[in-house]
A and B are shown apart, each in its own frame.
Chain A
Amino acid sequence: MIRLENVYKIYHMGDTDVHAADGINLHVQKGEFVSIVGQSGSGKSTIMNIIGCLDVPTSGKYYLGGIDVSTMKDDEQSEIRNKMLGFIFQQYNLIPKLNVLENVEVPLMYGGIPKAQRRKRAMEALERVGLAAKYKNLPTQLSGGQQQRVSIARALVGNPSVILADEPTGALDSRTGIEILRFLQQLNQDGNTIILITHDNSIAVKAHRIVRLYDGKIIYDGPSDDPQALVQPYEEEHFSEDVILKGGGKA
C-alpha cells in the first residue's frame, strides 16, 4: 500500500541542513494499523506530510498503491489526497463557517460527487461516528471530542485507502482520547489502513506495529508488544551525542 524508499527531506536553514527525514525506508500493508512515534522534532510530521502527499521528498521514492507520487505536481497530489487519503488533525481543522454536514461533504464535493449522493454519504459517515443528530451544528457548537469525531467522519467519507492521524488525541482529555482511539481501532477492524502519529507510548501501543523515529531515522520498526518498541532514546543519548560533538570539537 505505502512504500517509502530511501526518503530524505532536507531543509536548508542558513548554512546548516536539517535532515527532517534521513533515509527512511518504510512499508505499510493494506489493513495495517501503524503508530509512528518519536520525540518532538524527530520528523514525525515530516513523514506524515510526505505520506499524506502534502509534501514531496527532497530525494527518494514514495509509492502509494503502486503509484509513484514522490514527483507529483500540486494538482495531481490534490487528486491523490482526495481519492486515496483521509486526514485527522490534532486541531480538527474543520471549516468554521460550514456546518457539520457541509464539512463532511467537502472531500466529496472536490471529488465531483453529485449533491444528493454527497448528502447521503456524509450522513452515513456521521452516523458511524454517532453525530448524525448534530449535522446542522457549527463546529464551534461542538465539544473538542465531537469535533474530532466530525473530522474522522470527514476523513472516512471518501472511502480512502489510508487514514492519517497526526496527534488526533493531542488536544483532548484522556477519556475522550481513548474514545477517539476506539474509533480508529474500529475503522481498522473494518479494513482501513491507519497511520497514527503520536509521541505518547500509551497511545502508540493501541496499534499493532510501532515505528519509532529519532532524528529523522527509523530506530525501531516492529510489533507493539515487543518491549523494545517502547524504549525511548533518553537524555543519556543526547548526552553521549554532546560528548561526541565536544570530543569532535576538541580534536
Chain B
Amino acid sequence: MSITQSFLLAMKNLMLSKMRSLLTMLGIIIGVAAVITIISLGDGMSLYVEEQFESMGSNLIVASVTSQSTARKAEPEDFYQLVDEHPDALAAVSPYVPANAPLKFGTESYYSTSVIGVAETYGKISSAELEEGRYLQYLDVESMNQVCVIGSYVANNIMGGNALGNTLRIGGNTYTVVGVLKEKTGSYQGSEDDSVYIPYTNATRLNRSSMISGYYFSAVDETQMDTAQWLVEQKLYAIYQDEDSYYVMNMAQVLSMMDSVMGMITTILVAIAAISLMVGGIGIMNIMLVTVTERTREIGIRKSLGAKRKDIRTQFIIEAGATSAVGGVIGIALGSAMSGVVGNLLNISAAASVKAIVVAFSVSVAIGVVFGYLPANKAAKLNPIDALRYE
C-alpha cells in the first residue's frame, strides 16, 4: 500500500470522528500554538530591543559612575578634555542627567515622560534629527537657559501638535520649546519619543546635586569602539582609583547581552511548551492504542488478505502522523493569530517566522510518528486468527 493511500485513509478516519480527532489533537494544538507564540514574541521582542538600541546609535559608549565619594569626583570638563585629546577615537561626549521632576503641561503632570539633562553634543551622539526648530546650544548649557528640545510623542500627544515656541513646566520652572525631534521609535508612551531634553546644568540644579552619574560618548566609528571604551575606562580609573566605582559599556555589548538573555528566556519557555507537545504525543499514543483495539477485526481481515506487518504498521503510523500534522497546522494557525494579537497589545511586530512554522510542523509530525510507533507495531504483530475472531 502506498503512502498516499495510507494518508488518504488516515484522513478519512480522522473525518469519521471529528470530535474524537479534535480531542486527540488538542495537546499538539496547544503545544504548537504555544511554541509558535513564544518564538514569534521572542523574535519580535529581540527585534524591538535591537531597534531601540540601534536608534541610539551603535557607536555609543555609556559610562555610569556609581561611586558616592565626594573626595574624588569626575567633572564634565575631564571628559571634554579626553575627547579633545583623542579625536581619532572619540567623537563627542555629553553628560546624561535624568531630572527628578515630572513634566507638567497645562494642569497635568506626565510621569512617564523622561526629562533628561544633556549637553548640546547629545543630539549628535544620539543621532537625533530635528523635525523643526533647533537643538540645544553651547550657550543654553553655559547660561542655563530655560529651553528644551522635545520628542515627537511629547509634541504631538501631550502638547497637541503646535509645540514649537510654546512652554512647558519642569520642577516649577517654565521651559520654552526650541526644537522638536523626528519620530524615532514609533512614538508611544514611555518610548524615547516621550522625552524632554534640557541643559544638564539645569538638571543638576533641579536635582539639587552636582553629581553627574552618566556620560554618553560616541566613538568615531565602530572600529574605534574598543579603543574609545579603553580610553574612557582609563580616565575613570585615573580619577577614582577603583574599578568598582564606575562601569562602562558599549552598545554592541549591551545588544549581545540583551540577545542572549532574550534567547535564554525564549529557550526556557519553548522547553516548557515542549512538555505540552510531549503530553500531546502521549494523548495520540493513547488514542492510537484504543483505535488498534477497536479495529482488531479490520486488521485481521487485512492480514488475511495479504497485508504484511510493514503494511499495517505504516497505515497506523501514517494515521498518527496525519493526526498530529493536522493538529500542528491548526496549532500554527492559532499560534500565529495569538502572537499577532499579543504583539499588537505589546506594540511589537510579532509575526511567526517561516523557520518557526517549519520547525513546529516537523516536530508535530515527528511526535505523531514517534508516539504512533508503539501502537502501530502492536497492530502489526497481531495474529491474524485471533484478530479475525475478535468481537
Contacts and interface: CB of A to CB of B under 8 A. Distances in A.
Interface residues of B, number: 23
A54 B382 CA distance: 12
Contact of A81 (B298, B306, B381): B306
B42 interface: no
Given A49-B385, A55-B385, A97-B16, A75 B309 contact: yes
B306 A87 contact: no
A111 B304 contact: no
A78 B308 contact: yes
Contact of B305 (A55, A74, A107): A107
A106 interface: yes
B385 A78 contact: no
Given A109-B1, A110-B311, A97 B12 contact: yes
Given A109-B1, A109-B5, A54 B309 contact: no
B126 to A, nearest CB: 69
9 contacts: A79-B306, A81-B303, A82-B305, A97-B12, A97-B16, A110-B302, A110-B307, A110-B308, A111-B306
Contact of B384 (A54, A82, A96, A110): A54
Interface centre among B5, B298, B302, B384 (most CB of A within 10 A): B384
Interface centre among B298, B306, B311, B381 (most CB of A within 10 A): B306
B388 interface: yes
Contacts of B1: 109-110
Nearest to A83: B306
Contacts of A55: 385
B301 A78 contact: no
A206 interface: no
Which 7 A-B pairs have CB atoms at the shortest separation, nearest pair first? A82-B306, A110-B306, A107-B305, A75-B308, A78-B308, A93-B301, A54-B384
Interface of B is mostly: helix
Interface centre among A49, A87, A110 (most CB of B within 10 A): A110
B385 A54 contact: yes
B297 interface: yes
Given A107-B305, A111-B306, 4 more contacts: A78-B308, A78-B309, A83-B306, A94-B301
Interface in B347-388: 381, 384-385, 388
Contacts of A81: 303-306
Interface in A212-241: none
A95 interface: yes
Nearest to B1: A109
A93 B304 CA distance: 10
Contacts of B13: 97
Contacts of A158: 306
Contact of A95 (B5, B301, B309): B301
Interface residues of A, number: 25
Given A49-B385, A55-B385, A93 B306 contact: no
Interface string A42-66: 0000000100101100000000000
Contacts of A111: 306
Interface string B28-54: 000000000000000000000000000
A50 B304 CA distance: 12
Given A95-B298, A97-B12, A110 B385 contact: no
A209 interface: no
Given A95-B298, A110-B1, A154 B305 contact: yes
Interface in A64-102: 74-75, 78-79, 81-83, 87, 89, 93-97
A78 B303 contact: yes
Interface in A154-177: 154, 158
Contacts of B302: 95, 106, 110
A56 B308 CA distance: 16
Interface in A1-22: none
Contacts of A154: 305
Contacts of B388: 54, 89, 93
Nearest to B307: A110
A107 B307 CA distance: 8
Nearest to A49: B385
A93 B295 CA distance: 12
A110 B324 CA distance: 26
B16 A110 contact: no
Contact of A106 (B297, B305, B381): B305
Nearest to A73: B309
Nearest to B380: A74
Contacts of B385: 49, 54-55
Contacts of A89: 388
Interface string B262-299: 00000000000000000000000000000000000110
B12 A87 contact: no
A87 B305 contact: yes
A157 B67 CA distance: 94
Interface string B305-326: 1111111000000000000000
B302 to A, nearest CB: 7
Contact of A78 (B12, B298, B307): B307
A175 B150 CA distance: 100
A107 to B, nearest CB: 5
A96 B16 CA distance: 12
Nearest to B391: A91
A93 B297 contact: yes
Interface in B212-235: none
A65 B302 CA distance: 23
